[in-house]
Amino acid sequence: MTRLKNSDICDISFNLCRYNRELISKTGQSLLGIACHACGVEELKIKQKLDSFCVHVVPVTTGLGVISNFSETVCAILKFLGFIALVSDKPDASGITSAFENKADAIMMADDKRFVGINLNTKSVVDNSEMTGQVFASAMDLMADGINQKDVLVIGCGSVGEAAARKLLSFNAKLSLIDINYNTAQLLAKKLSRAEQKDKIIVLKQEDNILSYKYILEATPSENTITDSLLSELTVVASPGVPLGVSAKGCKILNDHLIHDKLELGVAAMAVALLK
Ligand code: 2YG
């Protein structure tokens, strides 16, 4: 899992309005709308509840420590969506305790291993990797005007790729999986076939010809996983992978058929999932 750097996230807070407009033009839905699509809930119902739902974002100092702007950026995304949100002025146990003492409805926090949201009333837990995979798959579904029966190449079969693959199967997409480790892709295919009773999941090897995919979901921690030769102006890419797996030239070819961000969609989907 990639550890974000301050430089990855320092521009997010003041670009939220612009990013929201970009999402609407690419998918027909806003940041909140895509998150609701991922969670299978009606945006109107969520809008009626979110302005009285209070989230404390708690900085965590363990391991490699705090990432500057991380908690503030998570908080800015939540407030942009209409939630009541604040960054706890105390980290770690003190911050968690303060959330309970102040009757917060939820906390969001991340150590080096997991980034989670916890609903303090229902005790439900949401995980960033899981929700990021689901929300980018949902964005792909919207960009494709329904991914049903369409072939999607999923590059990267880790926790985010798995969540995206599962979500795509729930939209009845036809999946091809590829991972730098062929066994990882094979294992995921087996897992998904059993769970989703799907017979049609293809596992590709690195050297296989993957030129013909119009829909690509990229969930790897590497750059340039999607080479320019794979792209045309018709290709649609949803890429939760950090850093972005598409080159600058590739981004130009894709134009408005590319969805990528480092925190926004995942945090929005976590927040809606906590509330539903
Ligand atoms: O509280 C803090 O500032 C730090 N303990 C946060 C550490 C977060 C480490 N994890 C990551 O940087 C990413 N896995 C977060 C999610 C990236 C988007 N999918």
DSSP for 84-123 reads EEEE-SS-HHHHHHHHHHTT-SEEEEE-SS-EEEEETTT-
pLDDT grade, residue 194 (50/70/90)? confident
Q: Which atom of ligand 1 is nearest to the CA of 64?
A: 5
Q: What are the residues whose beta carbons fall under 8 Å from the beta carbon of 265, sequence distance 6 or more?
A: 31, 34, 35, 132, 135, 136, 139, 240, 259
pLDDT tens per residue across span 26-46? 999 999 999 999 999 999 999
Residue 150 Cα to ligand 1 midpoint, Å, equals 33
The SS3 call for residue 56 is strand
pLDDT grade, residue 12 (50/70/90)? very high
Count the Cβ atoms, other than its own, within 10 Å of residue 143: 20
Residue 117 beta carbon below 6 angstroms from any ligand 1 atom: no
Residue 29 beta carbon below 6 angstroms from any ligand 1 atom: no
What's the whole-number mean pLDDT along residues 177-189? 97
Q: Identify which of 163, 162, 169, 166 has the alpha carbon closest to the alpha carbon of residue 147.
A: 169
Residue 113 Cα to ligand 1 midpoint, Å, equals 8
Whose Cα sits closest to atom 4 in ligand 1? 66
Residue 173 Cα to ligand 1 midpoint, Å, equals 30
Per-residue pLDDT for 267 more than 90?
Answer: yes
What's the whole-number mean pLDDT along residues 228-240? 94
What's the whole-number mean pLDDT along residues 66-74? 98
Tokens of residue 123, six digits: 């005790």
pLDDT, mean over the chain: 95
Per-residue pLDDT for 143 more than 80?
Answer: yes
pLDDT, residue 210, reads: 79
pLDDT grade, residue 212 (50/70/90)? confident
pLDDT, residue 95, reads: 98
pLDDT grade, residue 172 (50/70/90)? very high
pLDDT, residue 59, reads: 98
The SS3 call for residue 148 is coil
- The best mutation among 7, 89, 108, 115 to test binding of ligand 1, ranked by most ligand atoms within 8 Å of the C-beta, falls on 115
pLDDT, residue 224, reads: 87
What's the whole-number mean pLDDT along residues 182-194? 94
pLDDT, residue 163, reads: 98
146 exposure class (CB count in 10 Å sphere: 0-12, 13-18, 19+): exposed
Whose Cα sits closest to atom 10 in ligand 1? 3
Residue 212 Cα to ligand 1 midpoint, Å, equals 35
Per-residue pLDDT for 198 more than 80?
Answer: no
Is the dihedral angle over the CA atoms 161, 70, 273, 81 positive or is it negative? Answer: negative
Tokens of residue 138, six digits: 């949902």
pLDDT, residue 199, reads: 67
The alpha carbon of residue 221 and the mean position of all alpha carbons in its chain are separated, in whole angstroms, by 13
Per-residue pLDDT for 58 more than 90?
Answer: yes
125 exposure class (CB count in 10 Å sphere: 0-12, 13-18, 19+): middle
- The best mutation among 112, 129, 265 to test binding of ligand 1, ranked by most ligand atoms within 8 Å of the C-beta, falls on 112
pLDDT tens per residue across span 76-132? 999 999 999 999 999 999 999 999 999 999 999 999 999 999 999 999 999 999 999
Write down the pTM of the prediction.
0.97
Residue 127 beta carbon below 6 angstroms from any ligand 1 atom: no
Q: What are the residues whose beta carbons fall under 8 Å from the beta carbon of 149, sequence distance 6 or more?
A: 172, 173, 174
